[in-house]
Chain A
Amino acid sequence: MRLWIWLNLGLRSLNRNRRRSLAMMAGIAAGIALLTTVNAVGAASRRLTLAQVKNMLGTFDTVLVRPGAAKTRGMVSLANVPPTLTFDDAAALAQLPAITQVAELQNAFDIDVEYRDRQVTPAVFGVSANWLDLRGDALAGGRFFTPAEMQSENRVAVVGADVVAGLFAGTNPLGATVRLGGGAYQVVGVLAPRGAGPGGFSLDNLILIPLSTARHRLFNRDFLTMAVAQVRPGESNPAALGEVRQLLRQRHHIATAALDDFSLTDPSAVAAQVTAAGSRLTVLLRGVAYVLLALGAVAIVALMLLGIMERRGEIAIRRAAGASRGDILAQFLAEAAVVAALAAALGALLGTAGMVLAARWLHLPLLWDGAALAGVSLAAVGLGLLCGLLPALRAARLEPAAALRA
């Protein structure tokens, strides 16, 4: 009740000198607005990147094995990898204590797929039976390959969303027959869309066929472009990675000092890397926001001190009317708190507007983190109280007698 009286008094006092009150609020409000916007944009772009990385890499409890000591990341295909990662390698990896199962892949990017008069050139993936499981993929319709189809190298296919859009345009793809590398493949399933990967390229422009079919009837190659080894629950990714490396070096007879002829990727490490720090711009803008907050704090101290010099008469007459030093202290602390709270509210409002604009310009999802905003606003009120402490103490120490005689 008492607190409400002080806050009300502070509000009315600020209202009496609006221009100064605005000057007191400007820095804090601008700092909080910028901080809110930058944090929201940072969080949104981090979440987007993480989602894209997760889209591309699938599940995180895996080790990705690719042939060749690839220094550059990029899409591998049968055309650009050395023939060093064998089916026997994959089978041996599956026997490792830290690995539960291994999915195998043969793929190419340059094969046309035709249906009636339409033609697309998706990624063609020859995959093992456990592919969907290890990639975290789901089917939107139809079914996956049966063991019998895998066994007898049948020409069946599961298609991605982009292929559906490109070839079938509204008609049902299930049961349709598409032409692929001179063979007729029956579509038995449709993949659920995965969306975009890093950089925004589509992860849905692909067609899956059984690995055995790909190996013997399409590519005629006896090596893999990628193996995905699933890490046993309870095992750490780095430990599993070490086991995989040791086994492959041994199987490939690599001398102690020589480099690997394969490359290993830990998806969780990649994800951690891309989500760790924001961009340099984010760091810079956050720094600017903190400078604005500091300037705002200095402005509150300076303008309150000035205000107290001008309001010596008011302070003195309040003391004469019965205000104790504590009452004066409370009055000016409340004023500082009200200033900071209004500034925080203004900043939150501006920051939310900035966030909406930034999300629109940068094509980012809108992330309104109410808890973070409340935390920042509360911190601003604390800052205001801290800034108000010195002026309020000075006001409380003023001797009323001298000011009253004037």
Chain B
Amino acid sequence: MIELQAVTKQFQRGSAPPVAALRGVDMSLARGELVAIRGASGSGKSTLLNILGCLEAPTTGSFRLDGQDVAAAGDRRRSRLRARAIGFVFQAFHLLPRTTALENVEMPALYWPGARSRADIRRRACAALEQVGLGHRLRHYPHELSGGEQQRVAVARAVINDPALILADEPTGNLDAASGAEVMRLLLALHAEGRTVVLVTHDEAVAALAPRQVMLRDGRIAADPAGEDA
């Protein structure tokens, strides 16, 4: 499903020499796989996630998603791809403030490339919130929800457009153990539905839930059992 070949990413800040975040990453993910990407901070794991999520384009190298070459795609095409195929979960939840849980979950539907009725969007959002156990919190605002509940709203938001790929960046980083376990249970359930799930984490216990763990160090893959097999 995902093919990265010799991907590098450099950041240019002002007139300073460019900083290399990724120095040549080869990786492939099969549809329905659950992968944890581990590494110290600064190892390039967030950059890798942003490239996988079509938020940033690689500086060099090729990136194919579902057979499409994304490395050279423009903003419009990458945005449509994100809307249709990718759901994000972030460490900081990033719910819209002063907006109900239901409206937060409905938000990505606005960017769905096809046509959907208001009623259909509402039905999907309610179903998604019920799936994460928040059917009773539809009209609550983010500040009225606990951290764990906010992250569950974020998970519901990630699946409203029914994406094949879920990218989770430190999803349990801001949560207590119990809430973190609940969120991980939801992510594993999404994997069980057949979605590809990529987890970025430095928490070994969380990473241990994934059958395949990719280690990043200094912008390169230091260990990848599947990659070694391939």
Q: Which residues of A contact B (CB under 8 A)?
A: 5, 9, 16, 313-314, 316-327, 399-401, 404-406
Alpha-carbon distance between A321 and B109 when the two chains are bound, in angstroms: 8
Shortest distance from the beta carbon of A389 to any chain B beta carbon, whole Å = 19
Q: Which residues of A contact B55 (CB under 8 A)?
A: 319-320, 400-401, 404
When A and B form their complex, which 7 residue pairs have the shortest distance between CB atoms, in order from nearest?
A322-B83, A322-B111, A324-B79, A321-B108, A317-B94, A16-B98, A322-B82
Q: How far is the CA of A319 from the CA of B82 in the complex (A)?
A: 8
Closest B residue to A403 using CB positions: B94
A327 to B110, CA, bound (A): 10
Contacts of B28 in A (CB 8 A): none
**A401 to chain B: closest residue by CB:** B50
B226 at the interface (CB under 8 A from A): no
Size range of the chain B interface in the assembly: 20 to 34
Q: How far is the CB of A21 from chain B (nearest CB, A)?
A: 13
B151 to chain A, nearest CB (A): 13
Total A-B residue contacts, Cβ distance less than 8 Å = 75
Q: Which residue of A lies closest to B82 (CB)?
A: A322
CA distance A318 to B76 in the complex (A): 14
Q: Closest CB of chain B to A7's CB: distance in Å?
A: 13
Per-residue CB proximity of B91-123 to A under 8 Å, as 1/0? 010111111000000011011100000000000
Known: A401-B55, A404-B94, A405-B46. A320 touches B76 (CB 8 A): no
* Shortest Cβ distance from residue B153 to the other chain A in the assembled complex, whole angstroms: 12
Judge whether B88 is part of the interface by a CB distance below 8 angstroms. yes
Are the CB atoms of A326 and B84 closer together than 8 Å?
A: no
Q: A401-B50, A405-B46 are in contact. Are A322 and B94 (CB under 8 A)?
A: no
Contacts of A401 in B (CB 8 A): 46-47, 50, 55-56
- Partner of A404 from B76, B83, B90, B95 at Cβ < 8 Å: B90
A36 and B208 alpha carbons, distance in the complex (Å): 70
Chain A min CB distance to B163 (Å): 9
Shortest Cβ gap from B148 to chain A (Å): 19
B108 partner, pick from A322, A325, A400, A405, beta carbons under 8 A:
A322
Measured between alpha carbons, how far is A221 from B53 in the docked complex, in Å?
105
Q: Which residue of A lies closest to B56 (CB)?
A: A401
20 new A-B contacts, CB < 8 A, other than A16-B98, A323-B79, are A5-B110, A313-B92, A316-B94, A317-B94, A317-B95, A320-B53, A320-B82, A321-B108, A321-B111, A322-B79, A322-B80, A322-B111, A323-B83, A324-B79, A324-B111, A326-B75, A326-B76, A400-B55, A404-B55, A404-B90
| Docked complex Cα distance between A326 and B111 (Å) | 11
Q: How far is the CA of A251 from the CA of B85 in the complex (A)?
A: 100
Rounded to whole angstroms, the CA-CA distance of A179 and B88 in the bound complex is 103
Q: Which of B47, B82, B92, B95 contacts A406 (CB 8 A)?
A: B92
* Interface CB pairs A-B, < 8 A, 8: A320-B53, A320-B90, A321-B83, A321-B108, A321-B157, A323-B110, A323-B111, A324-B76
